[in-house]
Amino acid sequence: MLALPWLHEGANAYLAGGDALHPLASPVHADLRHLPPTLIQVGTDEVLLDDSRRLFNRLRECGVLARLEEYPRRWHVFHVHAGVLADAGRAFESVAQFIRSA
Protein backbone atom coordinates (compact mmCIF):
# COMPACT_ATOMS: atom_id res chain seq x y z
CA MET A 1 0.00 0.00 0.00
CA LEU A 2 2.95 2.29 0.54
CA ALA A 3 5.64 2.92 -2.04
CA LEU A 4 9.01 4.56 -1.44
CA PRO A 5 8.52 7.40 -3.97
CA TRP A 6 5.26 8.37 -2.28
CA LEU A 7 6.91 8.21 1.17
CA HIS A 8 9.78 10.42 0.01
CA GLU A 9 7.36 12.95 -1.46
CA GLY A 10 5.33 12.97 1.75
CA ALA A 11 8.43 13.33 3.90
CA ASN A 12 9.69 16.27 1.83
CA ALA A 13 6.32 17.99 2.11
CA TYR A 14 6.19 17.37 5.87
CA LEU A 15 9.73 18.56 6.50
CA ALA A 16 9.37 21.67 4.32
CA GLY A 17 13.15 22.00 4.22
CA GLY A 18 13.55 21.14 7.91
CA ASP A 19 15.94 18.66 9.46
CA ALA A 20 14.81 15.02 9.13
CA LEU A 21 16.80 14.22 12.27
CA HIS A 22 14.84 16.65 14.43
CA PRO A 23 12.95 14.79 17.19
CA LEU A 24 9.64 16.26 16.05
CA ALA A 25 10.26 14.89 12.57
CA SER A 26 11.45 11.45 13.62
CA PRO A 27 10.62 9.80 16.95
CA VAL A 28 13.76 7.67 16.63
CA HIS A 29 15.68 10.82 17.53
CA ALA A 30 13.40 11.91 20.37
CA ASP A 31 13.49 11.40 24.12
CA LEU A 32 10.98 8.57 24.45
CA ARG A 33 11.52 7.85 28.15
CA HIS A 34 8.02 8.89 29.22
CA LEU A 35 6.01 6.91 26.70
CA PRO A 36 3.65 4.22 27.94
CA PRO A 37 4.14 0.54 27.12
CA THR A 38 4.18 0.28 23.35
CA LEU A 39 3.25 -2.51 20.96
CA ILE A 40 4.50 -2.35 17.39
CA GLN A 41 3.02 -4.75 14.84
CA VAL A 42 4.55 -4.87 11.40
CA GLY A 43 4.52 -7.17 8.40
CA THR A 44 7.79 -8.40 6.93
CA ASP A 45 6.66 -7.13 3.51
CA GLU A 46 5.98 -3.69 4.99
CA VAL A 47 8.04 -0.80 3.61
CA LEU A 48 8.29 0.53 7.18
CA LEU A 49 9.75 -2.69 8.61
CA ASP A 50 13.21 -1.27 9.21
CA ASP A 51 11.74 1.89 10.74
CA SER A 52 9.59 -0.24 13.03
CA ARG A 53 12.65 -2.13 14.19
CA ARG A 54 14.58 1.11 14.75
CA LEU A 55 11.71 2.60 16.77
CA PHE A 56 11.45 -0.56 18.86
CA ASN A 57 15.18 -0.47 19.62
CA ARG A 58 15.01 3.23 20.48
CA LEU A 59 12.08 2.64 22.84
CA ARG A 60 14.04 -0.07 24.60
CA GLU A 61 17.12 2.19 24.82
CA CYS A 62 14.92 4.78 26.54
CA GLY A 63 13.65 2.24 29.05
CA VAL A 64 10.15 1.95 27.60
CA LEU A 65 8.41 -1.40 27.86
CA ALA A 66 8.04 -2.28 24.19
CA ARG A 67 7.13 -5.30 22.14
CA LEU A 68 7.73 -5.80 18.43
CA GLU A 69 5.66 -8.36 16.54
CA GLU A 70 6.61 -9.19 12.98
CA TYR A 71 4.08 -10.97 10.78
CA PRO A 72 5.68 -12.91 7.89
CA ARG A 73 4.63 -11.92 4.37
CA ARG A 74 2.23 -9.23 5.59
CA TRP A 75 1.92 -5.69 4.30
CA HIS A 76 1.06 -2.23 5.57
CA VAL A 77 -2.25 -2.20 7.46
CA PHE A 78 -2.84 -5.93 7.02
CA HIS A 79 -5.13 -5.60 10.06
CA VAL A 80 -7.97 -4.35 7.85
CA HIS A 81 -8.40 -7.92 6.67
CA ALA A 82 -9.56 -9.16 10.08
CA GLY A 83 -12.22 -11.80 9.65
CA VAL A 84 -10.62 -12.93 6.39
CA LEU A 85 -6.90 -13.14 7.14
CA ALA A 86 -5.98 -15.27 10.16
CA ASP A 87 -2.89 -13.16 10.94
CA ALA A 88 -5.05 -10.05 11.20
CA GLY A 89 -7.28 -11.73 13.75
CA ARG A 90 -4.26 -12.91 15.71
CA ALA A 91 -2.81 -9.41 15.62
CA PHE A 92 -6.00 -7.95 17.11
CA GLU A 93 -6.01 -10.63 19.80
CA SER A 94 -2.44 -9.68 20.60
CA VAL A 95 -3.42 -6.02 20.86
CA ALA A 96 -6.20 -6.87 23.29
CA GLN A 97 -3.84 -9.00 25.41
CA PHE A 98 -1.20 -6.26 25.38
CA ILE A 99 -3.71 -3.65 26.54
CA ARG A 100 -4.97 -5.91 29.33
CA SER A 101 -1.45 -6.61 30.53
CA ALA A 102 -0.24 -3.02 30.33
pLDDT tens-digit map of 20-67: 999 999 999 999 999 999 999 999 999 899 999 999 999 999 999 999
* pLDDT score at 102: 86
* pLDDT score at 25: 93
3-class SS of residue 14: helix
Count structural domains, the chain: 1
* Contact predicate 27/51, CB 8 Å: no
- Long-range contacts: 2-5, Cβ < 8 Å, 24+? 2/46, 2/47, 2/48, 2/76, 3/47, 4/47
Instruction: List the domain range (segments joined by +) for residue 55.
Output: 4-101
For residue 68, give the CATH number of its domain: 3.40.50.1820
Question: pLDDT-derived band of residue 7, with 50, 70 and 90 as boundaries?
Answer: confident
